[in-house]
Structure 1
Amino acid sequence: MASVGCAVRNASHAGSWYTDDPRQLHRELTEWLGAAGSRCAQSARAIISPHAGYSYSGRVAAFAFKQIIPETVSIIFVLGPSHVMSLDTCALSTCSRYRTPIANMELKQTGAFSLMDLRNEEAEHSIEMQLPYIAKIMEKQSTNSYSIVPVLVGSLSPSKQASYGKIFSKYLSDPKIVFVVSSDFCHWGSRFHFMPHDN
């Protein structure tokens, strides 16, 4: 994997997996968050959010992101599974910012991780699909009041799971840090060899 840095990762799935029109995206996210009901008294420390196209997953993701209280957040870890490249570690971005149609977000580097190359990073959707929601919920906070740590997660051996678990555990204990875990949830249909049936 390349270690050459880049300034900004483009929103490569905007215009296909979700709209690239900032006003329309803002309207959609506002509507979905508004329909997601009330927020708990305390901010969620970790959420699980789907990463399909927003026409499939946008409304569902709102229920998770609604539970984050932005005023309490200084760092957001975004963990996403690797679909594009074979990976047996966790990898960080070499970029300093991520671009979304709503706002650019500053990245924070941390830990002893591999590095993603930009081509694979921009082809991967699991992390990017969380970014517009993060930009939306954090829109009233100053851009230098928080940063994100995107982590691409490969197929980890038990020993590597334990090793990364130790690294992440110290961040989980900090109430100003939130983890967003990007998930496939469930793929249905003949394409995935998984068909619903009646019991």
Structure 2
Amino acid sequence: MPALRQAAVAGLFYPAEPIALRRLVTQELDAADTPPAPAPKLLIVPHAGYAYSGPVAAKAYALLRPDGGARPDIERVVLLGPAHRLAVRGFAAPTVQAFVTPLGTVPLDTAALAELELLPQIVRSDEPHALEHSLEVQLPFLQTLLGDGFVLVPLLVGGATAEAVAQVLDVLWGDASTLIVISSDLSHYLPYALAQNVDHATAGRILAFDSGLSSHEACGAAAINGALLAARRHGLSPRLLDLRNSGDTAGDTARVVGYGAFAFT
């Protein structure tokens, strides 16, 4: 088995050149006017190309900036997202030791991944991760903000119930040094006005801890549904940070993809 999962969408979804990539991420974080708030335990962020969803994702990631010293030291990031390339039954957990981006290598929490093997919904497989973008596009933001001081638990979620996802998150919940990130876009390829209506309704359901979202409302619905169950059980409070679509950022308005940024504290 390979020891490293190499970047698959560098140069496509984000710049492949390290200086240009770090500059772009920093610019997007600087442009985010997210007001100061308590440090989040859980974020929901989009995963399209940075030209499309980067400004929305930055609204959430800006909460991790150490301005004012309020952010706790984050030592582990639990990252869940949908599998677009290959069908996944339950969860796909990689066997590699680290994920690579142009900004460097992110080591995996191999002990936590081994512990998850005790759960029936976990399958150890690198193949679904090899070309998947939903997790990879989050890493440059995390690397820029957290440096090399964190380990990663990357999980692709396929056919899994909300309860099965919540069970995994409960195992990995940890303390303030563990951050949970759910990677998901919202509606896909609707006309602009219809997408706005659908995404506003979806955002309302997320804020109400409605764990019955469908894949038509969010491609990462399975992960979101389970995260909402876990967040409610752990007493978190949600906040909508941004809600836009590709027609607002870098695309036309005939067929758009929706993006939302949410923080749970």
Q: Same fold (TM over 0.5)?
A: yes
Shift, 1:47, TM fit: 0.7
Aligned residues: 182
**1:152 alignment counterpart:** 156
Question: Equivalents in 2 of 1:56, 1:41: separation in Å?
Answer: 25
Q: Any idea what the Cα deviations from partners look like across 1:30-80, whole Å, max 9, x if unmatched?
A: 111011124534211111111111110111111111112565211101101
Counterpart selection for 2:123 from 110, 114, 135: 114
Q: Distance in 2 between matches of 1:38 and 1:56?
A: 18
**Residue 101 (1) aligns with residue 102 (2):** yes
Matched, 1:164 2:165: yes
State how 1:3-152 maps to structure 2 within 5 Å.
5-38=1-34, 40-68=36-64, 69=66, 71-109=72-110, 110=113, 111-112=116-117, 113-118=122-127, 120-139=128-147, 143=148, 145-152=149-156
Unaligned 5+ runs, structure 1: 189-193
Q: Which moved more, 1:128-137 or 1:171-180?
A: 171-180
Relative contact order: is structure 1 or structure 2 higher (C-alpha 8 Å, sep ≥ 6)?
1
Give the 4+ runs in structure 1 shifted more than 6 A.
Answer: none
Identity %: 31
User: RMSD across aligned C-alpha pairs, in angstroms?
Assistant: 2.0
Contact kept, 8 Å, 2:7 with 2:136, in 1: the verdict is: yes
- 2-structure distance, mates of 1:107, 1:37: 31
Matched letter for residue 15 of structure 1? G
User: Which residue pairs with 2:187 in the alignment?
Assistant: 186
Cα deviations by residue, 1:118-176 (Å, 9 ceiling, x for unpaired): 4x32211111111111111112xxx3x320000000021x3xx3233123124335211
Deviation at 1:187, TM superposition (A): 1.9
Distance in 1, matches of 2:193 and 2:146, equals 41
Residue 156 of structure 2 aligns to which amino acid in structure 1?
L
Richer in helix (by share): 2
TM-score scaled by length of structure 1: 0.83
Secondary structure of 1:26's counterpart equals helix
> Which stretch shifts more, 147-156 or 41-50?
41-50
Deviation at 1:197, TM superposition (A): 4.3
CA contact (8 A) 2:72 2:176 kept: no
Structure 1 pair 76/39, CA: closer, same or farther in 2 (3 Å)?
farther
Alignment partners' CA distance in 2, 1:116 and 1:39: 40
Q: What are the ranges of 5 or more consecutive residues in structure 2 without an aligned counterpart?
A: 198-265
TM-score, length basis structure 2: 0.64
SS of 2:188 mapped into structure 1: coil
Q: 2: distance between equivalents of 1:53 and 1:87?
A: 23
Contact 1:76 1:149 in 2 (8 A): yes
The letter of the residue matching 1:101 is: P
